[in-house]
Structure 1
Amino acid sequence: MKVITPESAGWTYSGLRVVDLNGTLTFATGPDEVLVLPLSGSCTVECDGETFVLNGRRDVFSGVTDFAYAPRDATVTVTGRGRFAIPAARARRRLEFRYGPAEKVPVELRGAGNCSRQVNNFCTPEAFEADRLIACEVLTPGGNWSSYPPHKHDEERPGESVLEEIYYFEVAGGGMGYQRVFGEGIDVLEEVRGGDVVLVPHGWHGPSMAAPGYDLYYLNVMAGPGAERAWLVCDHPDHAWIRGTWADQAIDPRLPVGER
């Protein structure tokens, strides 16, 4: 089990648990709202007297999955077999226990050329209601770059605060990728493999680089103190021009990845 809490990360809002399960896991959400997201396998999720069946998927490269949302101050029981991500955020409001069907997950093909990637916007502000939590999946074909141009999640609007971001990676075929985080006292270029996590407390991040021959997956989990649940994306001024080059390029024909 991989567990990241705001306390272990040294920040305030974002968390993630990744569980390899063959049986039952019961946990209290405490002050956090959470998601149950199958990375592989399927399960049932019980909370507040209701049960949802998550059909799940073979693996993160095989298609979009259904998921469940559970509120703060609740007890959740997950029963199944597979690997499950449990993104979390410190929540102010207690919302209802809900099911997110796979067919309603907006799938976006972003960028072009070797900056093409797929974004599964399953818990973004426009797609699914939550109090603070923002989460999405990004799939990058081998040899491509994503999270590019480098960007950060603050300063889009005066007075807004930084979003704390978690990247959880899986790599097809046992390969590797690379993740850059830099600026404001941070300068990191890390090799990442399946199961690795990179924390972005602040500063610029990107690119996420998929090595040739190895498709790259990452789960983004974000939350922050702002009154509004928003991306607050701000491109690095030295590299923002790159977006303008995509108009004359086609999207990578390897996308979309998997089946709906």
Structure 2
Amino acid sequence: MNADGTHQPVATDRYLPAGSTAGGPYALRVDPERAGWGHSGLRVLELGPGASHSLTTEDSEWIVLPLNGGCTVRTDGQLFELRGRESVFGGVTDFAYLPRDAHAQITSGAGGRFALAGAKCERRLPARYGPAPEVPVELRGSGVCSRQVNNFAAADTFDCDRLIAVEVLTPGGNWSSYPPHKHDEHRPGVESELEEIYYFEVDGDGVGYHRVSPSRPGGTDVLAEVRTGDTILIPDGWHGPSIAAPGRDLYYLNVMAGPGAAREWLISDHPDHGWIRDTWPAQPVDPRLPLYEAPPAPAVTPSPDAEEGHP
């Protein structure tokens, strides 16, 4: 407890309060070695107006995802202009994919904060631009379990070698990551083994709550009050719920990767809580959702030749 009565969170091996892994241009840096596992990583890059940052991707693939602000990404002889967004609560963003064994430079004219979601991988895929209009926005659950999922790099929406990453927005007062579920065992067709990172932001000066309970003796056990910039590492265990306080929308970025040959997200619900899914069809989705939708694709103006019927 601080002298002014406020709570000072303490970092653990699984709960990382904002600033606890900061260094250089990174407000957050969690590489697999820091997490104590094999694949998943996340960095949050902060750039002032006109600033640039260079990085070498080494043995990992990365997605540059604007949290607020826009940037220019140069890699593999290509230039990607990311328009970005005002905040994670303001809209879907475009993004850029960086392959392994590449050099990249990120420059921001007006400054901003940018998530670098990464995973150690084997294949070297091409650098690519991910347009915001092509990001599938999913409404999941119903009633007080309603939430929005921006599937920008879900397993079935964007091609990566190992990396799976999505954004989740939970309206104030709702629960997400519910029912509690896990993906810490390789069971073909049933469950995939994935390390997972939760990075949180809270709308305004608010808090949320997140629970991870053990799925095995001595497993991960976390009950944390989370604020903007806090991170939770989940190598195993039943994770959920993530709880948004009334009046404060909750955002989290999920970054996942694992050792399995197939890039897939297969989960097992907690046996004591999975029944809640059966109640969803009888309840309406929270009318506050979606908080926003992906922007429409820009209109294509036909060329004069096209108007005249030429190929």
Question: Do Structure 1 and Structure 2 share a fold, with TM-score over 0.5?
Answer: yes
**For the Cα contact (< 8 Å) 1:139–1:215, is it kept in 2?**
yes
Q: Within 5 A, what are the aligned runs for 1:122-161?
A: 122-155=152-185, 157-158=187-188
Q: How much does 1:233 deviate? A: 1.1
Q: Which residue of 1 aligns with 2:213?
A: 182
| Alignment of 1:96 onto 2:129 | no
2:261 to 227, 234, 250: 227
1:174 alignment partner, SS class: coil
- Give the structure-1-normalised TM-score: 0.97
Query: Deviation per CA, 1:192-229, whole angstroms, max 9, x where unpaired?
Result: 00000000011110000001110000000000000000
Offset of residue 258 of structure 1: 2.8
The answer as to whether partners of 2:75 and 2:102 remain within 8 angstroms in 1 is yes
How many residue pairs get aligned? The number is: 260
Question: Matches of 2:194 and 2:182 in 1, distance apart?
Answer: 8
- Using the size of structure 2 for normalisation, the TM-score is 0.82
Which residue does 1:61 correspond to in 2? Answer: 89
Cα RMSD between the aligned structures? 1.2
1:166 aligns with 2:200: no
Measure how far apart 1:187 and its partner are: 2.1
Q: Which residue of 1 aligns with 2:9?
A: none
Quick one: percent identity of the two aligned structures?
65
Tell which deviates more after alignment, 180-189 or 165-174.
Answer: 180-189
The structure with the greater share of residues assigned to strand is 1
Equivalent residue for 2:63?
A: 35
CA 1:137 to 1:176, structure 2 compared with 1: closer, same or farther past 3 Å? Answer: same
The offset of 1:232, in angstroms, is 1.6
Deviations 1:218-247 (A, max 9, x none): 000000000000002111111110000111
Check if 1:213 corresponds to 2:251.
Answer: no
Structure 2: which 5+ residue stretches go unaligned? 1-25, 295-311
Unaligned regions of 5+ residues in structure 1, if any?
none
Is it true that 1:3 corresponds to 2:29 in the alignment? Answer: yes
CA distance in 2, matches of 1:92, 1:141: 38
Segment drifting more, 83-92 vs 149-158: 149-158
The aligned residue for residue 76 of structure 1 is 104
Question: How far apart, CA to CA, are the structure 2 residues paired with 1:30 and 1:39?
Answer: 24
Give the 3-state SS of the residue equivalent to 1:83 in structure 2.
Answer: strand
Deviations 1:108-133 (A, max 9, x none): 00000000000000001110000000
Separation (CA, whole Å) in 1 of partners of 2:288 and 2:46: 29
Where 1:242 maps in the other structure, the secondary structure is: helix
The letter for the 2-side match of 1:205 is H
CA distance in 1, matches of 2:280, 2:266: 22
Deviation string for 1:4-43 (max 9, x for gaps)?
Answer: 0000011110000001112101000000000000000000
Aligned to 1:192: 226
Give the superposition deviation at 1:158: 4.2
Whether the 8 Å contact between 1:156 and 1:234 is mirrored in structure 2 is: no
Contact 1:44 1:78 in 2 (8 A): yes
